[in-house]
Structure 1
Amino acid sequence: MFIDVVPNGRSAPAVLLRESFREGRKVHKRTIANLSQMPPALIDGLRALLAGGAVVGGADQALEIRRSLPHGHVAAALGMMRKLGIPRLLGRRASRERSLALALIAGRVIAPGSKLSTLRGLNPETATSSLGQMLDLGVIEEREIYAALDWLGTQQGRIEREFARRHLRDGTLVLYDVSSSYLEGRHCELAHHGYSRDHRPDRPQIVYGLLCDREGRPIAVEVFEGNTADPATIAAQVEKLKRRFHLERVVLVGDRGMITTARIRETIKPAGAGLDQLPARGADPGSCRGPLQMSLFDERDIAAITSPDYPGERLIACRNAALATERRRKREALLVATETELARIRDATRRKRAPLHGEAAIGLAVGAVINQRKM
């Protein structure tokens, strides 16, 4: 059985449902129905059915969705990475290591997690997005993820130099700060106990320093042993700026715990002319004396002053009005709380039953309150 289209002169062709049969040696056709008046879509459906197709009731029955991977956030992340030239920055030639590095970076943007969870999200059988397909990664073994990180480490110097070339200029500000992360493992050669910003002194840690341009864009990162003090990391940054990035004049900005007077004297000044610094001296704007007068501040709350205490240096002072208000509020709250606690001690010395007496006992009680309420 088949559909036959028969020309009909100047009129529309006739669409006939026919079957063929044999009589002796001759093959004949027999018309079963005239389909000329049926809609073309229905005729096409009948033709597909006669060819061995299946009849479906609607579009929802025409397709069977076995798997649907989220894609929009992947397309956005990879599109922006390509626009920024990150693939070319990581490696000049396409390679599996470069693709895996791109996947790790995109994974940190769209679904932050451990390397193992990222690996599961990329593998075809356990994929959580289209990221693995978009980068044509296929099946990934666990060792490949760590090999890609090792490969990326070999590219770090070249990548940082390119970032410096793009974003650092002579005379620019360079921002620098450090942080730390504790570790659960036992085999990291840099892991040591030190000052824990994660409040985990029971765990070894690593310290890492981040160098940024004036807009906060990361330029370079370096990892130090976990017991390295913040000021001790300055020397490595001076080396980057002067030797590796070939900058003649920059201004290094750090906090009061970083660029100390000793570090300026021992590390920054010996580096030669062209490396200035903006350290925080730690002066409380509400209690400034001597060369710094509060009347110097304009609407921008910033002033440049000189002081005989720091010969040859220009000091930049900045007053944060919101921070000053918050500190005033805390001081008043601490005073109220301290007075309340001291009043309880006074009442304890006056009670009739088991009064608090003796200079040592009263002194210990007062000292405990003062130590607890320190700013």
Structure 2
Amino acid sequence: MYVKTTKRENKSGTVRYLHLAHNEWDPAKGRAVPKVLFTFGREDQLDREAVKRLVASLSKLLEPGDALAATAASDLEFVSSVPFGGTYVLDHLWRRLRIDQIVSRVGQPKRGRRRDMTATERVLFALVANRALAPSSKLAAADWITYDAHIDGLAEIGEQPCYRAMDWLHEVTDDLETEVFDEVATLLNLEVDLLFFDTTSTYFELEEPDEPVTRDDTGRRLGDGPDDSEATKSGFRVYGKSKDSRDDLPQIVIGMAVTRDGIPVRCWCWPGNASDQKVIRQVKDEMRDWTLSKIVWVTDRGFSSEENRRYLRQGDHAYIIGEKLRSGSPEVKAALSRQGRYTEIAENMRVKEVRISDTDRFVICHNPESAMRDQHMRTQLVTYLQELIADTDKLSDFKRGELRGKIADKPGLNRYLRTTPAGKLRIDHAKIKTEENLDGKYLLRCSDPHLSAEDIALGYKQLLEVERGWRDMKQIIDLRPVYHRLEERIRAHVILCWLALLLIRIIETQTGTTWTQARRELQRLHAGTFTGPSGTFQQVTGLTKPQRDLLAKLGIPHPKQVIDLQPAPR
């Protein structure tokens, strides 16, 4: 059986009709002649749904494999399939934030002939998508872009174009960050009243740190930064106080500013020996020219020096800073000794405000669950310490001194140990009593006279968003290890990670799910490549309900079924 077409002439022209027919032998004519079994009607009025139902009904008479072979085009070959959904969604957000236009705009020279930035923009997007979906080295990223992902407008790429794009990104970082923030603030209606800032470090597996070079006050090599007035000498990957517990390896320091919704607005890099006490001033100065409303800086205890607090108060800014409970400063002692009742607030927390001076307010926060956890940990430490020092009175002075030195290397145990004038080792019960009064507590200092104690406490608690950002940067986006050797490319690598985190946070904010879950579902949407005598095309698999829900929450249209069509050369 086959489909036969007949033509008829009428007033409007030639009309084609479709019939289901088969050939029968005609003895009189001595040849096979077509016999019509069913008429589908006019071709331009064909009921295609009815045809689909007929084909499906006939397919039930065959085995599944035979039915698939019978309905598939015999001259069409399936070539390959790659994940499509992740890059499709990231690319839509990239364009919604107008980053493609920003890249083209900041890449134009102030004078002279305009340059075509299309290729550079596509490479940068591909590198950002790689950090979000399958983080790898630039060599592996080029292979991923070419063979394992669908990047609109970029079929394949080599290693060198990736490096050239990163070198260009380093040159325009400041302008790009400013314009991206403006677009994000407009898209998400950001009201930047609380700005959270924190630093981390990432290490490099090097035998020796970088050679010292002359740097300006921002940590950039002379000639890279806008201000060459105060020069110092330092390498970039150098030894410092590691936050990854790898003091034995060279590192760099990375800072990030995040809104209360977890949106990262900017990133910085410094040499590995830069201190938290200094970097906060550069951060505040560089954020001063951005289009921000009044800012309350929220930082942890590393930025609590008097000089830093005075610097943060300049202009129309304020701060919320964590204080070290065990600092021993007169202000902290006075705040902790004040009597007063706690006020219950949300999220299992109690607060008590204490006013010590005209410029600063102290808020003591108490978490009952944390208090129970602190007590449990202290009990375990004291029990273990008792076992260590049991019967040490019988040891020689040398052996006791040796044990004392080992315990001194363990701050948790050493806190509860005291040594008598005779050199005997004892549990410090007075210290235990002092620590009991600090269970579940942390102390905050705020310079804003209008914020309530509850807002101060909950605002500081949101500093966890920055910590979550660092965790995602290191685990999901894979900030470490860094394979680059040149300082410019290391800085560009951090910016790529920041852009990936920005897109991820927007997806999480708008969908109410984690990026890990969203990525897993989106990457199940594939683009298959088929080839045949007429050419090659790519077709997207059908959307599942979870995929449709994610696209609906993000306001992203469904992808076209056929996304690319390349006719065969004639």
Q: TM-score, normalised by structure 1?
A: 0.73
Unaligned runs of at least 5 residues, structure 2: 9-17, 41-67, 106-115, 212-234, 327-331, 416-570
The one-letter code sitting in structure 2 at the alignment partner of 1:296 is Y
Q: Which residue of 1 aligns with 2:174?
A: 157
The one-letter code sitting in structure 2 at the alignment partner of 1:361 is K
C-alpha distance in 2 between matches for 1:319 and 1:253 = 19
The one-letter code sitting in structure 2 at the alignment partner of 1:179 is T
Q: 2:295 aligns with which of 238, 250, 253?
A: 250
Secondary structure, aligned partner of 2:124: helix
Tell me if the contact between 2:304 and 2:323 (Cα under 8 Å) persists in the aligned partners.
no
Shift of the 187–363 alpha-carbon distance from structure 1 to 2, 3 Å rule, reads closer
Q: Which residue of 2 aligns with 1:47?
A: none
Q: 2:306 aligns with which of 257, 261, 264?
A: 261
Q: Does 1:130 align with 2:150?
A: yes
Tell me if the contact between 1:14 and 1:34 (Cα under 8 Å) persists in the aligned partners.
no
Q: Does 1:362 align with 2:400?
A: yes
Tell me if the contact between 1:173 and 1:251 (Cα under 8 Å) persists in the aligned partners.
yes
Shift of 1:118: 1.0
Q: Does 1:281 align with 2:281?
A: no
Larger RCO: Structure 1 or Structure 2 (Cα < 8 Å, ≥ 6 residues apart)? 2
User: Residue by residue, what CA displacement relative to the aligned partner does 1:128-177 show, whole Å, maximum 9, x if unpaired?
Assistant: 1222xx2x223423221111122223332233323544549887111111
Q: 1:237 aligns with which of 283, 296, 306?
A: 283
The one-letter code sitting in structure 2 at the alignment partner of 1:322 is E
Secondary structure, aligned partner of 2:297: strand
C-alpha distance in 2 between matches for 1:95 and 1:14 = 52
Shift of 1:336: 0.9
Tell me if the contact between 2:19 and 2:38 (Cα under 8 Å) persists in the aligned partners.
no
Q: Which residue of 2 aligns with 1:208?
A: 254
User: Residue by residue, what CA displacement relative to the aligned partner does 1:59-97 show, whole Å, maximum 9, x if unpaired?
Assistant: 457232222222222223323333444433443486111
C-alpha distance in 2 between matches for 1:268 and 1:81 = 33
The one-letter code sitting in structure 1 at the alignment partner of 2:307 is A
The one-letter code sitting in structure 2 at the alignment partner of 1:140 is I
Q: Which residue of 1 aligns with 2:193?
A: 172
Matches within 5 A, 1:106-117: 106-117=129-140
C-alpha distance in 2 between matches for 1:7 and 1:307 = 98
Shift of 1:101: 1.0
C-alpha distance in 1 between matches for 2:6 and 2:142 = 61
Moved more, 149-158 or 211-220: 149-158
Q: Does 1:307 align with 2:330?
A: no
Shift of the 59–374 alpha-carbon distance from structure 1 to 2, 3 Å rule, reads farther
Shift of 1:312: 1.8
Q: TM-score, normalised by structure 2?
A: 0.50
Q: Does 1:335 align with 2:335?
A: no
Secondary structure, aligned partner of 1:66: strand
Matches within 5 A, 1:53-92: 57-59=69-71, 62=74, 63-92=76-105
Tell me if the contact between 1:17 and 1:33 (Cα under 8 Å) persists in the aligned partners.
yes
The one-letter code sitting in structure 2 at the alignment partner of 1:158 is D
Secondary structure, aligned partner of 2:304: coil
Shift of 1:248: 6.7
Q: 1:326 aligns with which of 362, 366, 373?
A: 373
Shift of 1:360: 4.2
Shift of the 294–14 alpha-carbon distance from structure 1 to 2, 3 Å rule, reads closer
| Identical residues among aligned pairs (%) | 21
The one-letter code sitting in structure 1 at the alignment partner of 2:196 is L
Q: Which residue of 1 aligns with 2:52?
A: none
Shift of the 344–58 alpha-carbon distance from structure 1 to 2, 3 Å rule, reads farther
Larger Rg: 1
Q: Which residue of 1 aligns with 2:33?
A: 34
Shift of the 225–35 alpha-carbon distance from structure 1 to 2, 3 Å rule, reads same
Q: CA RMSD in A?
A: 3.8
Secondary structure, aligned partner of 1:295: coil
The one-letter code sitting in structure 1 at the alignment partner of 2:317 is L
Matches within 5 A, 1:94-109: 95-109=118-132
Shift of the 182–241 alpha-carbon distance from structure 1 to 2, 3 Å rule, reads same
Secondary structure, aligned partner of 1:215: coil
Tell me if the contact between 1:77 and 1:110 (Cα under 8 Å) persists in the aligned partners.
no
Shift of 1:241: 2.4
Secondary structure, aligned partner of 1:200: coil
Shift of the 275–148 alpha-carbon distance from structure 1 to 2, 3 Å rule, reads same
Moved more, 57-66 or 203-212: 57-66
C-alpha distance in 2 between matches for 1:97 and 1:280 = 43
Shift of the 152–180 alpha-carbon distance from structure 1 to 2, 3 Å rule, reads same
Shift of the 61–4 alpha-carbon distance from structure 1 to 2, 3 Å rule, reads closer
**Residue correspondences, number:** 324
Shift of 1:36: 0.7
Unaligned runs of at least 5 residues, structure 1: 19-29, 42-55, 350-355
Q: Does 1:120 align with 2:165?
A: no
C-alpha distance in 2 between matches for 1:369 and 1:328 = 20
Tell me if the contact between 1:193 and 1:227 (Cα under 8 Å) persists in the aligned partners.
yes
Q: Does 1:182 align with 2:241?
A: no
Q: Does 1:218 align with 2:258?
A: no
Q: Which residue of 1 aligns with 2:344?
A: 298
The one-letter code sitting in structure 1 at the alignment partner of 2:84 is H
C-alpha distance in 1 between matches for 2:325 and 2:7 = 99
